[in-house]
Amino acid sequence: MRLLVNLVLGHKATVLETPTPNGSTHDWEIYVGSGSDANLGEYIDRVSFKLHDNYENPLRTVVSPPFRIRDVGYAGFIVKIKIYFKGDGDIQPEPEFTYDLFLQAGGEPLSHSRRENLTITTSDVEFERMLLHGGAIILGSGISDSQLTDPMDGGPGLGSLNGGRRDTSQFLAKKRKLDLDKEAEDEFDTFGKLVAHKLRYISGLDRLKGTRLQAKVQKILLEGEIDVLEESRNYR
């Protein structure tokens, strides 16, 4: 199964009122987060951050969410971030990224982040369940990455395990359109339009209730996907 995982790599930095005795001028934090409210701990075992060699214990590993570390410094540097997944031996190598932890010259606190969209292919049903619990999106098998080409640069539309950095929204929209063009409308399409109509109507009356109802529908669908995966595993 092919699934899409959206990660956020980022950092924050503030200028210290008074430099430390060793000359540090900034307090900083670097993290790996989710592109949604999903719990990365569902499928990530640990995250390692390789700092500049001038730091004591430059290789630091976080074994549970939130996956972040804090320290102080006087200059920016490149951080190597490596993510280790839970219980799936066929994901090799683990995704690894470089991140520029830059510091501001002064003034207001700094906050910077970037998205990393990964496509993961796995045959491990248990790992699929972990990914879905952690907010992953199932990608259809009827479309190739070449059909999800970024029109701006001709590159692949979705990142792979080496860390693609493109926004997936326009590519997923294109994928959905291509999939729909291939399939005749059935009872599920009709029901989906009815659900969409009801959600729009309720959101128009009370946006908060509409948002909560949408979350309930998504939860029910996710539970259904997980049940099917678990049943298929039991029949193997």
Question: Same domain for 33 and 121?
Answer: yes
In tens, the pLDDT along 126-178 reads 888 899 989 898 886 444 444 343 333 333 334 444 333 344 444 555 555 55
Backbone angles phi and psi of 83, in degrees to 5: -110, 130
Give 116 or 208, the one with higher predicted confidence: 116
Closest CA to 2 of 150, 161, 154: 161
pLDDT in tens, 23-44: 999 999 999 999 777 899 999 9
Per the CB < 8 A criterion, the answer to whether 148 and 156 are in contact is: yes
Q: Whole-model pTM? A: 0.61
Q: Looking at the predicted structure, is the pLDDT value of residue 67 above 50?
A: yes
Contact status, residue 6 vs residue 135, Cβ threshold 8 Å: yes
Helix axes of 125-133 and 207-235: crossing angle, nearest 10 degrees: 170
Asked if 156 and 197 count as a contact pair (C-beta separation under 8 A), the reply is no
| Beta-strand relationship, 44-50 and 59-62 | antiparallel
Nearest Cα residue to 228 out of 86, 139, 128, 137: 128
Question: CATH no. for residue 89?
Answer: 2.60.40.1970
Distance CA 153, CA 163 (A): 16
Q: Does the structure show a pLDDT above 50 at 1?
A: yes
Q: Do 205 and 164 share a structural domain? A: no
Specify whether 203 is located in the same domain as 97.
Answer: no
* N-to-C CA span, the chain: 16
Domain boundary among 163, 183, 203: 183
For residue 31, what are its two tokens? 């993290």
- Model confidence at 60, pLDDT cuts 50, 70, 90, reads very high
**Residue 204 structural domain:** 184-236
**pLDDT at 74 exceeding the cut of 70:** yes
Residues 95 and 189 in one domain: no
Mean pLDDT of 40-67: 96
Q: Provide mean pLDDT across the span 67-77.
A: 96
Is pLDDT larger for residue 164 or for residue 217?
217
- Token digits of residue 204: 């128009």
How confident is the model at residue 218, as a pLDDT?
Answer: 80
Asked whether residue 49 carries a pLDDT value surpassing 50, the answer given is: yes
Q: Residue 4: which of 151, 131, 105, 97 has the closest Cα?
A: 131
Say what the pLDDT of residue 65 is: 94
- pLDDT value for 230: 75
Identify whether residues 25 and 71 lie together within a single domain.
yes
Q: Respond yes or no on whether the N-terminal peptide bond of residue 66 is cis (omega within 30° of 0).
A: yes
Of residues 164 and 113, which shows the higher confidence score? 113
In this structure, what token pair is assigned to residue 201? 């109507």
pLDDT for the residue numbered 225: 78
Do 198 and 167 lie in a common domain?
no
Cα 161 to Cα 150: distance, rounded to the nearest angstrom: 18
Per the structure, the count of domains in the chain is 2
User: Average pLDDT over the chain, rounded to whole?
Assistant: 79
Residues 177 and 206 in one domain: no
In this structure, are 135 and 80 located in the same domain? yes
Shared domain for 188 and 157, answered yes or no, is no
Half-sphere exposure of 226 (CA within 13 A, CB side): 16
- Interatomic CA distance for residues 81 and 59, integer angstroms: 10
